[in-house]
Amino acid sequence: MSQHFLLSAAARTLSLAKVMRMSDAAARETFKAIRWASTEGEPVCAKCGCVEAYEIATRQIFKCKGCLAQFSVTSGTIFASRKLPIRDILAAIAIFVNGAKGYSALQLSRDLDVQYKTAFVMAHKIREAIATSREADLLTGIVEIDGAYFGGYVKPANQRKDRVDRRTLNAQSGKRQVVVAMREREGETRTFITKTEREGVALVAANVHRDATVHADEATHWDTLSARYLTKRINHSQAYSLDGACTNQAESFFSRLRRAEFGTHHHVAGKYLSAYAAEMAWREDNRRVANGEQFGMIVGAAMAAPVSRQWKGYWQRAA
Ligand SMILES: [Zn+2]
């Protein structure tokens, strides 16, 4: 049996430099090999599953011999009805992979010489493909949980006499959100957005297997988890790690998300916080995976992800 394309040496060593040297035809062949790996790159009709198709080379589309439906290499995927050449999409993914602290749409638009809004939607489609590719199984083993606030920053007044205590409810902007992270030791990081960290308790129950051991800090709302799980608590005012209890891996994830916030996006709050958190969770979990392999993972995820309900025609609707 032939090897799956994503496991081949060609996929593992894909890089931005190689993509930029590719012709658009070569880029299409790469997409085909990844999308239709089981037929060694031969197109499969998404409508009827027929594996025989005419190729209409001038329009870069296929016509199914079974049902006569016309489709392209990206039809039915998150990059359906794309306006950019395939090679630019591959380049966008390669650039995105290289950004360990995330990648801003502004930089991407400069790199690819496309409009900001094109880069913005493309980056969000990549994030959505990543999110779609992640497993939904219950988390097991040792699972660290923690929450951190993002957004809703209230700038202190210039003069001291005008300043208010920003910890009080009235002084807050109402835009502050919590990222709740659950992280398996040596495993997957899963994130959710809530208004308060307390709401994370129910999410832990829904996402963590009963046999798991849960590590959490001293915040009292986590107390109820001990009725359901074997729990280990760490009081951060005393130590960061004591008797095997710690949430240091959850903290490392948050520091990565903070670096993306301060270093790249400057503002990750609001309605896209969930997408940024999931992206950084993926980057954290795959940090030891070679770049070329990460690239292949994202192209594969994009080819497997369905047409985006959120991002398809986004600017046409927004305009
Ligand atoms: Zn068909």
Tens of pLDDT, residue by residue over 177-206, are: 999 999 999 899 999 999 999 999 999 999
Distance (Å, whole) CA 31 – CA 13: 15
Rounded to two decimals, the pTM is 0.84
Distance 23 CA to ligand 1 centre (A): 28
Contact by Cβ (8 Å): 219, 149: no
Q: Alpha helices, DSSP H only, in the chain?
A: 9-12, 16-21, 24-35, 86-98, 105-112, 116-133, 200-207, 248-260, 273-285, 291-304, 314-318
How confident is the model over 27-45, as pLDDT tens digits?
Answer: 888 888 888 888 888 999 9
Distance 29 CA to ligand 1 centre (A): 21
Distance 88 CA to ligand 1 centre (A): 28
How confident is the model over 211-253, as pLDDT tens digits?
Answer: 999 999 989 999 999 999 999 988 877 777 777 788 889 999 9
Distance 70 CA to ligand 1 centre (A): 8
User: Which run of H or E residues covers position 192?
Assistant: strand 189-194
What order of strands is seen across the sheet that includes strand 61-64?
Answer: 53-56, 61-64, 70-71
Task: Report residue 130 as tokens.
Answer: 């990543």
Distance 42 CA to ligand 1 centre (A): 13
Contact by Cβ (8 Å): 83, 118: yes
